[in-house]
């Protein structure tokens, strides 16, 4: 993409010679061949100024040595004017058009090249900064979600260990499997949808170990994951939120989690009884919303609603 952009700008620079012709009554009489090579030399020097400004002058001089940067540009402009004159000393019977007599076309062409290279360099730097910022933000959000998830999980295991529950080893084993997935298999921006669904299933099974008979939890996964991929930990925060706010040891609760996959999309819904007032602005929910905006812009719909006794989350993502 960058090379294509450079190519377009170089064509623009060359075409600028049409708008800055040499004066018809120049003091020198030159042949068509000499005029052709003179124009070619002007274009080469303008292109040289473009690439030097883009790759050398701006990166190494513009930001730290602004005054020296402009001196270098002036020095290069002087070289552009004098190089044809110097070359004429080395050629017998051939003369480049001498800019010393009328330097405006060369200077206009060079100024246009330098201006376009400055615009191109700024565009390149802004794009790089935007990409780095997005990558850093995605990484930070993902890393923030992992401690948040394990914090809640370890709290549950800690509670069981105090009670000396026989279910504690099963919790630890499930947690070990989940940690293996998080540490070794979910480092990429996208992971296998099948593995992500397995991770969700493990999570729900582990949570169910601590539930009583009055807590009904159903996980329904339909469709074929196939070779589809998904951003890791997109769905877990919603499920985690359901367990956090929709489970009670003193009353009957119901939770239904449905995940349906098609050829190129995923449809998720989580419905749970309201036991505690759920906050849509928790760390996990905030992060998942931000990640959806960054990874799936205009490719998802998210609805979070609250009825009298139920909290409902519905998410559709185009994979």
pLDDT digits (tens, 9 = 90+) for 259-290: 999 988 999 999 998 886 554 455 567 778 88
Task: Please tell me the predicted confidence (pLDDT) of residue 185.
Answer: 78
Q: Give the percent of the chain with pLDDT over 70.
A: 81
Give me the half-sphere count of Cα atoms (radius 13 Å) on the Cβ side of residue 57: 24
Nearest in space to 168 (alpha carbons), one of 202, 210, 131: 210
Q: Where are the domains of the chain?
A: 2-129, 165-318
Sign for the CA dihedral angle at 244, 319, 291, 306 comes to negative
**Residue ranges in the chain assigned as alpha helix (H):** 2-15, 32-52, 66-88, 104-162, 168-180, 193-208, 236-245, 283-295
**How many other C-beta atoms are found inside a 10 Å radius of the C-beta of residue 246?**
22
What is the torsion angle, in degrees rounded to the nearest 10, for the CA atoms of residue 118, residue 121, residue 123 and residue 125? -140
pLDDT tens sequence across 151-206:
767 777 877 777 777 878 877 887 888 878 877 777 778 889 999 999 899 888 87
Fold (topology level) of 165-318:
Heat Shock Protein 90 (3.30.565)
| Contact criterion met (CB below 8 Å) for 81 and 100 | yes
The answer to pTM > 0.75 is no
Tokens standing for residue 314:
């519905």
What mean pLDDT do residues 37-50 have? 88
Both tokens of 111, joined, read 């100024």
Express each pLDDT in 83-138 by its tens digit: 988 888 887 777 788 777 778 878 888 888 888 888 888 888 887 777 766 766 66
Task: Give CA torsion, residues 243, 215, 158, 259, to 10 deg.
Answer: -40
β-strand partners of 270 = 257, 313
Q: Is 148 within 8 Å of 233 (Cβ atoms)?
A: no
What per-residue confidence (pLDDT) applies to 187? 75
Strand pairing of 191-192 and 229-230? Answer: antiparallel
Task: Note the pLDDT of residue 300.
Answer: 94
What is the number of residues in the chain?
A: 319
* pLDDT value of residue 14: 56
Asked if 215 and 204 touch (Cβ cutoff 8 Å), the reply is no
Q: What string of DSSP letters covers 62-108?
A: ITT-HHHHHHHHHHHHHHHHHHHHHHHTT-SS-----TTT--HHHHH
Backbone angles phi, psi at 65, to 5 degrees: -135, 65
Tally of CB atoms within 10 A around 236: 20
Split at pLDDT 50, 70, 90, the class of 313 is very high
């Amino acid at each position: 993409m960058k090379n294509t952009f450079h190519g377009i700008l170089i064509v623009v620079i060359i075409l600028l010679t049409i708008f800055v012709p040499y004066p018809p009554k120049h003091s020198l009489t030159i042949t068509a061949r000499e005029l052709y090579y003179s124009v070619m030399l002007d274009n080469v020097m303008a292109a040289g100024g473009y690439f030097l400004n883009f790759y050398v002058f701006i990166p190494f001089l513009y930001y730290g040595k602004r005054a020296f940067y402009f001196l270098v540009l002036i020095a290069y402009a002087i070289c552009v004017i004098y190089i044809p004159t110097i070359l004429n000393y080395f050629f017998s019977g051939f003369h480049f058009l001498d800019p010393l007599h009328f330097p405006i076309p060369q200077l206009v062409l060079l100024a246009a090249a330098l201006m376009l290279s400055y615009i191109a360099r700024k565009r390149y730097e802004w794009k790089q900064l935007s990409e780095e910022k997005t990558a850093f933000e995605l990484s930070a959000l993902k890393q923030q979600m992992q401690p948040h998830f394990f914090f809640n999980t370890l709290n549950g295991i800690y509670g069981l260990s105090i009670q000396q529950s026989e279910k504690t080893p099963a919790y630890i084993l499930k947690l070990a499997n989940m940690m293996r997935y998080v540490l070794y298999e979910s480092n990429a921006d996208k992971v296998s949808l099948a593995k992500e669904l397995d991770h969700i299933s493990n999570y729900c099974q582990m949570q169910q170990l601590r539930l009583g008979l009055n807590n009904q939890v159903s996980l329904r996964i339909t469709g074929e994951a196939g070779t589809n991929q998904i951003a890791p930990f997109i769905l877990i925060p919603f499920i985690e939120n359901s367990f956090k706010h929709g489970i009670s040891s003193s009353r009957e609760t119901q939770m239904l989690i449905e995940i349906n996959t098609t050829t190129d999309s995923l449809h998720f819904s989580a419905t749970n009884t309201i036991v505690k007032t759920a906050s849509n602005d928790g760390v996990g929910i905030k992060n998942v919303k931000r990640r959806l905006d960054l990874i799936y812009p205009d490719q998802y719909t998210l609805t979070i609603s609250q009825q009298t006794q139920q909290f409902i989350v519905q998410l559709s993502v185009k994979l």
